[in-house]
């Protein structure tokens, strides 16, 4: 079976990939099979550039016949010109908590009416095959930013992100619904179609 190694130290993310790629013919592994995910400086100016940095860093340590996949993702808010974007995890500063990032976002959108709160979660995957060829896959979940956080499930910006067609936040909808709508799920499904073709 072909080995697909996820360039991430996040066990939850590896589980998510594994679930989405079940029966794809690939054995999904974490970066632990390469001794762990090396430290990388994500200094790209796009999600794709940062995903590529991580994938290349792990590829240098991986078995030559392995496939490598990495992702970079974040929240884009139209009223903020696409911010926080690639800075989503550190929007309120280096080492900021989810709560700090969330509070900064709500503060910046305080004056914005509901009609001006369009946003999306975006994910870009970088897939490197054993020959070194690179492919990118994009997934986006459209929605809007609520006035206040709601729900206890999820993390990051989930409590304020209400996906299109729903009235509840990602943190209220729960994992089973979120996993069908999520930006990462959509990007992984696009990649899966490519892997199987």
Tell me the mean pLDDT in the region 29-49: 95
Strand runs (DSSP E) across 78-154, as ranges?
118-128, 134-145
pLDDT in tens, 125-149: 999 999 999 999 999 999 999 999 9
Q: Does the domain spanning 2-196 belong to CATH 3.90.950.10?
A: yes
pLDDT in tens, 95-124: 899 999 999 999 999 999 989 999 999 999
User: Given a cut of 90, is residue 35 above it in pLDDT?
Assistant: yes
Helix (H, G, I), strand (E, B) or coil at 144: strand
Confidence at residue 175, expressed as pLDDT on a 0 to 100 scale = 81
Confidence at residue 184, expressed as pLDDT on a 0 to 100 scale = 92
Higher pLDDT, 31 or 114: 31
Confidence at residue 65, expressed as pLDDT on a 0 to 100 scale = 96
Annotation says 72 is catalytic: yes
CB-neighbour burial class of residue 44 (10 A; exposed 0-12, middle 13-18, buried 19+): middle
Omega of the bond prior to 178 within 30 degrees of 0, cis?
no
User: Given a cut of 90, is residue 85 above it in pLDDT?
Assistant: yes
Confidence at residue 11, expressed as pLDDT on a 0 to 100 scale = 84
Could you tell me if 85 and 39 are in contact, meaning their C-beta atoms sit under 8 angstroms apart? Answer: no
Q: Which residue out of 43, 45, 65, 72 is catalytically annotated?
A: 72
Q: What is the pTM of this model?
A: 0.92
DSSP β-bridge partners for residue 139: 123
Helix (H, G, I), strand (E, B) or coil at 182: coil
- Please state, in angstroms and as integers, the Cα–Cα distance from residue 173 to each residue in 19, 65, 177, 182, following that order: 19, 39, 6, 12
Give percent above pLDDT 70 in the chain: 100
Confidence at residue 78, expressed as pLDDT on a 0 to 100 scale = 97
Confidence at residue 174, expressed as pLDDT on a 0 to 100 scale = 83
User: Given a cut of 90, is residue 155 above it in pLDDT?
Assistant: no
Looking at 24-33, 109-118, 175-184, which range is the least confident one? 175-184
């Amino acid at each position: 079976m072909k080995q697909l190694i996820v360039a991430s130290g996040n066990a939850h993310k590896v589980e998510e990939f594994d679930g989405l790629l079940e029966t794809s013919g690939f054995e999904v592994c974490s970066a632990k099979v390469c001794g762990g995910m090396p430290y990388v400086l994500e200094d790209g100016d796009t999600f794709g550039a940062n995903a590529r940095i991580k994938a290349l860093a792990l590829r240098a340590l991986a078995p030559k016949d392995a496939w490598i996949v990495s992702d970079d993702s974040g929240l884009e808010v139209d009223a903020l010109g696409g911010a926080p974007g690639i800075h989503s995890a550190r929007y309120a500063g280096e080492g900021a908590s989810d709560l700090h990032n969330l509070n900064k976002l709500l503060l910046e959108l305080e004056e914005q009416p509901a009609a001006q709160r369009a946003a999306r979660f975006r994910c870009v995957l970088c897939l490197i095959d054993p020959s070194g060829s690179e492919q990118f896959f994009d997934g986006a979940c459209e929605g809007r930013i609520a006035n206040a956080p709601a729900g206890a499930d999820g993390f990051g910006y989930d409590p304020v992100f209400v996906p299109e067609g729903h009235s509840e936040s990602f943190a209220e909808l729960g994992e089973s619904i979120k996993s069908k709508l999520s930006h990462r799920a959509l990007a992984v499904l696009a990649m899966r179609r490519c892997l199987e073709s």
